[in-house]
Amino acid sequence: MNFFESQHQARRNTRIMVVLFVLAVVAIIMAIDLVAAAAWIWMHADDPRPRGASMPGLKSVPAWVYVIGALATGIAILLVSLWEIMSLRAGGGAAVARMVEARRVAPNTSDPLERRLLNVVEEMAIAAGTRVPAVYIMDQERGINAFAAGYDISNTIVAVTRGTLETLNRDELQGVIGHEFSHVVNGDMSLNIRMIGVLAGIVFLGAVGGFILRNMGRSKEKEAGAIWVIGLGLFVIGYIGLFFARLIKATVSREREYLADASSVQFTRNPDGLAGALDQIRASGRDSLIANRHAEDVSHLFFGQGVSMGLESLFATHPPLDDRIRRVNPRFQPQGYRGARPKASDVMPDISSAAVGFVGSAASEARTGDSEQAWGHSPRESAALVGIVDDQKVDMAKRILAAIPTSVRERVREPDGACATLVALLFAQNDAVMEEQLTATKTAGVAKLGAAAAVVAREMRGIGPAYYLPVIDLALPALKLASADSQSDLLTALQAVIHADRRVSMFEFVVFTLVRSQFSARTGHAQPKYKAIKDVRDEVVFLLSLVAYAGVHRGPQADQEFEAAFRAGAKELGIPDATPVGRGAVGLDDAGEVLAKLRELAPLPKAVLVKGLFAAVTADGSIRVIEAALMRMIGAVLDCPLPPLLEDLDPETLEA
């Protein structure tokens, strides 16, 4: 199952969840009506009735009692679910982190265990082509567990327990993070976070019943007795809601955990790492249970079983540990592994945080935008790279991180430094042009940010376009901590620098579009708006034209190269008669609107779109640095994460 099929399957699971939710609501309404009827009979037990007549039964209960009971219950469940869904939609993954009292890890933390966690998350994000997520720690939880949450791939969080940090070594931690990134790229997160809100409505009645029992239990009045009966009924009915909630979570989640385990091993090519993490849950004495009062609500998000329950074969959200370990590594030997494994406290310097010099040079970077590599994948094979991570990509991510100067990595860990670094990326190497860009920032009212960027610019001159996206990815966690004014100033400064020379280069377009997309509110939708390429034909043609223009070399053959690239893409997209958009009509603002609309395309036609774009990019059998950056930016905005596409990291080895 590839990325797009997995996304499609996740939406099918949403429909399954809705069906089970409706069944749960029906069952709860029937039970509530029985309680309401019993309360009515209690209230009217002493009413006058003919001699010898039996006690009133369910048939004697007026119809309005059942109607009011059904309407009140249905409306209450719906309102509670909608309220919870809207609350989570506003906060996304961060709202879930707050539910479980998790603390956000500062990007510039000096704690060695936290730094190791950040490094592992950064590696996995760059290898997967996702944005680097915010990282949280559940300091009060001593068990071994973790989760990922969010409404989309580019705006997610990863959280681990304190027990995970203190117990697992780096390989085991990487296995757990790889498992969570599988949920990120396979479309599980949006379903999982939506499930929290949906299920809230069917379990809250039990809480209402408990409240009534606590507050009405001492009253001797008959009316109070009837209310007590209602409270007892609601409390019991709460278990019906809990039954269905657990059944829904188990039905939707269990197979996804097997898939995430398999994906984690594929990411790291180290089955002992994940198997060792699972083994530590059963061997360390810490298990994976979560003590937080919201553990039941979010139990389906966790890496391991978060709550204890009976009938685990029916209700468990996760498969048994022994089965998971056996599937991950059938030859795993617990005793031998435990005796040889490094401890979590053995924190060694990561290669990704070592002080390694940048591999390129300013002279070679001047021509990097025209550099290219041979591309040996068909459009179908290229599109299949979306959402795929393997050990080679993880190793490449480590090399990318090692190639970025340590001072740059440290600077982008705090908001002001991250803003200055991103502006510095777009400063020209020519001093005269750079002065024009600085003047433009002053005119735009962001002179302070422009001056800070100028200080950074000389250091950044060794970082070529091939490294722009990783630098942006590293900066995003800090940028999202910045104030709204700082984010607005950053976009203003980027626009001022871009337009200072009255032209927009493709790299400038990539940087601005990606950064702007990360600041926009994106809460996701239960269903995509557009089900076929034909529904967004104009936008597809616009984007195809943009991609085709990006690969054109300057010279007399430019028109022919563009035509060949556009036609190759149009053929794959099933629109061979499409007319390209003129170069002058491909504007920055229009491109942002086009990408926002295409993001709402359904998964399977989105796969066709990506395949068509790759057909255009690789029509000449090669891929340029700018084309690779453009495709990764498009993938980021469309929630189709692409791993690093250029196998050769050193720009000097690329052929101009």
* Residues acting as catalytic residues: 180
Q: Would you call 272 exposed, middle or buried from its count of C-beta atoms within 10 A (0-12, 13-18, 19+)?
A: buried
How far apart CA 540 and CA 250 sit, in angstroms, is 39
> How deeply is 491 buried, as exposed, middle or buried, from its count of CB atoms within 10 A (0-12, 13-18, 19+)?
middle
Enumerate long-range contacts of 71-78, CB under 8 Å, 24 or more apart: 72/32, 73/25, 73/28, 73/29, 73/32, 73/205, 74/25, 74/29, 76/201, 76/204, 76/205, 77/25, 77/28, 77/201, 77/202, 77/204, 77/205, 78/201
- CA distances (Å), 397 to each of 165, 379, 402, 594, in order? 22, 24, 8, 30
Cα–Cα distance between 428 and 437 in angstroms, integer?
A: 8
Q: Is 57 left (phi over 0), alpha (psi -120 to 50) or beta?
A: beta
CB-CB contact of 281 with 338 (8 Å): no
Strand partners of residue 146: 160
CB 611 within 8 A of CB 362: no
Angle in degrees, CA 294, 295, 296, rounded to 5 = 90
Residue 339, beta-bridge partner list = none
- Using alpha carbons, select from 551, 455, 441 the residue that is nearest to residue 489: 441
**Dihedrals phi, psi of 42, to nearest 5 degrees:** -60, -45
Cβ(205)–Cβ(76) below 8 Å:
yes
CB atoms within 10 A of CB 506: 19
